[in-house]
Structure 1
C-alpha cells in the first residue's frame, strides 16, 4: 500500500530517490551529488489513517571513508509539519541543534540519530566519556578500571529500542571485553532483567543480564558467543540437523520456570486475527475478503481447542534470535518472555520457517520436512504434551496474525508478494486440524 488519505505524500516518503537528496541536504551529509549518497529504507511501521514511521539509513562516501547515518521520519498531515515540530520541540526543549527538523514537502518530522522521539538517552549511551563512567559506576567489569570504550550500533528500532555493543579496554588486561546495552523507550527493561536473572540458572544457552540502569532505561548484558542462525543454514545438507537442534533448544526453554505477571493468552491471538482483517481492509482491500473468511473459520474452530498447558514462552521465536556456536544453539532477545501456551510459541516459529522458505524460493515440501523434523525433536524433549490438532490450528492462526499482519504493517513487498501462499498454507493447516490423528502422524 502506497496510499493513505491521511498521508498523501506517502509514496514520496517511501521513495529512496526522493528522500536521499532531501535528507542529505537537511543533515548536511557530505557528498550529496547524485550517486554519492545511498538512501536505504529500513523499518516501516504503518497504522493506516493514524501514523507512519520510516527508518532511513544514509550511506555517503567522503574522502574514501564510508559514513552511515540513521534518520527517522514521522509523517504529518500536509500543512501540519511546522505545528507538530513546535509541539515536539516543546516536549524536548534541550535538544541539540539539528536533532529535530521538519520538511514541508513531503510533510514529516526528521529525527537525526542518535536523537529519537522516545529513546531520549541514546546520546548519552553513545558518548565515549559518559559511557566509560557509566560502565565503571555499574561495576560491569568486575572492578577492572575502564580505559577506553568503542561503541557499535547493532540494531536500531526507531522509537522502540537500540542494541549497542561496546568493546571495552581494561587496565591490566590485554584482552578487550564485549558488553551489550539495550536501550528502551520505557521501563520495560526492568521486567526483562528480572526474567533473565531467573532464566540464567536454568537455561545456559541464552543471553545473561548483568544490570539494569533505571536512569537511562538500559539493560546491560554479557557477550554470547556464536553467529546468527539464518535460513541458508537450513538449506544446506545438514539443514535437518539444525532443525532438530532448534526443536531441542525450544523444548529446553519451555521447560524453564519463571515468576512473571506477563501472560500471552488465546484472547490475544483472536484479537490479532481480527486486527489482521481490519488492516487488510485498509491496506490491501483485494485480500480482505479471503482473510476475513480464513479468520472466521479459525475463530469458529478455536472454541474446540483443548485446554492448553502453561509454560515459559520466548514469544519472539524467529531464526535470527538463535545463535550457533559449534554444535550448540542459544537464544537471545528475551524482551517478550512470558507465560502461556507452548504450542502457540512453537507455531510462531513454524510460521517463521514458512516465511523464510517461501521468500527464498524453496519448495514448500522442503519446508514441510524441516518443520516435521523440528517438531519430532521438540516432542522428544518437551515436558508438555503436543496435541497435533491444536498445534495445526495455532500454525494456521500464526500464518495470519503474525506473518500476514506484520507483512502488511511493515509494507514489506517481498513478504506481501507471498501472502496468497501464507493464506493457502493457513487454510491447509486448519483443514488438517479437523482430521483425526494417529499417534505417529506427522504435523503436515
Structure 2
C-alpha cells in the first residue's frame, strides 16, 4: 500500500493527470492546464475507506469548436482503495457538468475525481449554486428588492475557494428585474458541511452594527441572509485582492501596519459569540512528526514542554473579542481600503492570540512558497509595534511571542506534514527553529 509520501507524489503528477483527463473528454475539448489546488490527509470516517488523500484540482478546458475556455474544478479521493471507491458510485445520479463526465477514475494514479459541484461528502453543494438558492436570497434581502418586486433574470457562479468534503465559497453575479433593486449585484455565498455558518452570520451582524468598525479605512462584508435549509451564508462582495496574490508588488511593512490597526480596532468591539472561548494547547493527539523524523519529534516535544512551562504568560488576561483566524489572507486589499473577511472562528480570549496567529501564518506561507522567513522579520516587527502603539499595551509582547510559538508548534507544523510533500524535513526544521526563537523572546521579555 502506498504511504502518504507516495500518494503525495501521485497527487502532484499533474502531467499524467492531464493526459488521463484528456481521454475522458469528448472530441473537440482540450485540457490546457491542470493545477493541484488543495491536498490533505483523509480523516473522514463517513467514506469508509482506508488511508488516503483528499485533493482538488483546477483544470483549464478549451472547446475548440466554440473557441471558448472554462475552468472546471475537480475534487477527489486518492488512495489504494480507489477502485472499490469508484465502483461504489457506479449507477449513482450526478449533476451534469459542461465538459466531460461528472465521475472519473484515473487508474494509474489511484484517483477518483468528482467534477464540481458533485461531492459525496458535501451533498448539498449543488443546491447551493442553483437558481432556487439565488431566488431564496433575493426574496429575503430588502436591498435586493425582497418580495415580489424583483425577479432573477440571470446569474453566474464563480467558485473562489473549494475544500472538498468541507465547504465552498462562491461569487455570484446576479441580474435582477424589478423596481426595488439595481440591475446587477455581486454577492458572496459560503457553505459548510455543518451549520456553523449560522453562528458566523450572527457574528457578522453584530460586527456590522458596531460603529467602531466603520470609522477607519477598513470594512467588513455586510451580511445579507443565512439560508438554513442549504447551510448557505450570503454577504456583500468586497473590493480588492488577497495579500499573496499581490506579493511581492506591495509594501509589506506598510500593509502589515495597516492590518495591525485593524486588529486594534477589532479588539475594541464586542462582536464574538457569547460563551465561545478560545482553547489553548488543545488535547494531545499522536503526532506523525515523531514517527516520521524521530530527532525532530524529540526536539518538538522539548519545545512543547517549554511552552507549557510558560503558560502563565497568557493565563491571566482580560478576554477580548477575537477574529480567531487572523492572518493576511483574510484581507482583501484595495487602493482606498482593506476589507476583513471570514469570521467563522470568532471567539473570546487573549488578544495576543490573533497577532500570534497572524505571524505564524506568514511564516508558514513563506516556507510553503520557498521564501526565506527573514524577509518578513522587519514587517512583522512593524506589525507588533503598530498594535502596541494603537492599544497602548506594551505588556502584550510576551504573550504575542508565546502565541507565535504555540501556533508554529501546533497547527502550522502539522500543516507542513499534512501537505504530504516528498521531503518536508528541511521546512519542519526551520519552523522548529522559528518557534524556539519566539519562545525565547517570550521568556526574555516576561
Asked whether the two chains share a fold, i.e. TM above 0.5, the reply is yes
Native 8 Å contact 1:119 1:183 kept in 2: no
The whole-number CA distance in structure 1 between the counterparts of 2:141 and 2:310 is 54
Give secondary structure in 1 for the equivalent of 2:159: strand
Distance 1:9 1:322, change over 3 A: closer
Q: How many residues align?
A: 421
Q: CA 1:235–1:309 in structure 2 vs 1: closer, same or farther (change >3 Å)?
A: farther
- Residue 21 of structure 1 corresponds to 19
Contact 1:153–1:163 (8 Å) recurs in 2:
yes
Partner of 1:186: 194
Kindly indicate whether residue 121 of structure 2 is the aligned counterpart of residue 123 of structure 1: no
SS at match of 2:310: helix
Which residue of 391, 397, 400 maps to 1:391?
400
Which of 39, 46, 54 matches 2:34?
A: 39
Question: 1:265-276 counterparts in 2 under 5 A?
Answer: 265-268=279-282, 271=283, 274-275=284-285
Instruction: Tell me, in whole angstroms, the C-alpha distance in 1 between the residues paired with 2:17 and 2:247.
Output: 35
5 Å-filtered alignment, 1:240-251, equals: 240-251=253-264
Q: 1:362 to 1:16 in 2, by over 3 A?
A: closer
Which segments of 5 or more consecutive residues in structure 2 lack a partner in the other structure?
Answer: 44-49
CA contact (8 A) 1:40 1:56 kept: yes
Find the aligned partners of 1:346 and 1:101 in 2 and give their Cα distance.
43
Q: TM-score, normalised by structure 2?
A: 0.82
Contact preservation (8 Å) 1:75, 1:108: yes
| Cα distance in 2, alignment partners of residues 414 and 353 from structure 1 | 21
Q: Against the structure 1 CA distance between its residues 409 and 145, is the aligned structure 2 distance closer, same or farther, given a 3 Å change threshold?
A: same
Aligned with 1:371: secondary structure?
helix
**Quick one: structure 1 residues 152 and 232, their matched pair in 2 at CA, closer, same or farther if it must change by over 3 Å?**
closer
> Equivalent of 1:340, from 332, 335, 349?
349
Q: Distance in 2 between matches of 1:3 and 1:314?
A: 39
Match of 2:319 among 310, 335, 359: 310
Give the secondary structure class of the aligned counterpart of 1:56. strand
Shift of 1:233: 5.5
Cα distance 1:251–1:12, how it changes in 2: closer, same or farther (>3 A)?
A: same
Question: Residue in 1 aligned with 2:330?
Answer: 321
Matching residue of 1:441: none
Give the Cα separation in 2 of the matches to 1:101 and 1:231. 31
Match of 2:46 in 1: none
Structure 1 unaligned segments of length 5 or more: list them.
438-444
Larger CA deviation: 339-348 vs 299-308: 299-308
1:380 correspondence with 2:389: yes
Q: Which residue of the other structure, out of 150, 153, 160, is the alignment partner of 2:156?
A: 150
Q: Structure 1 residues 86 and 231, CA, compared in 2 at 3 Å: closer, same or farther?
A: closer
1:420 equivalent among 413, 420, 429 = 429
Instruction: Normalising by structure 1, report the TM-score.
Output: 0.83
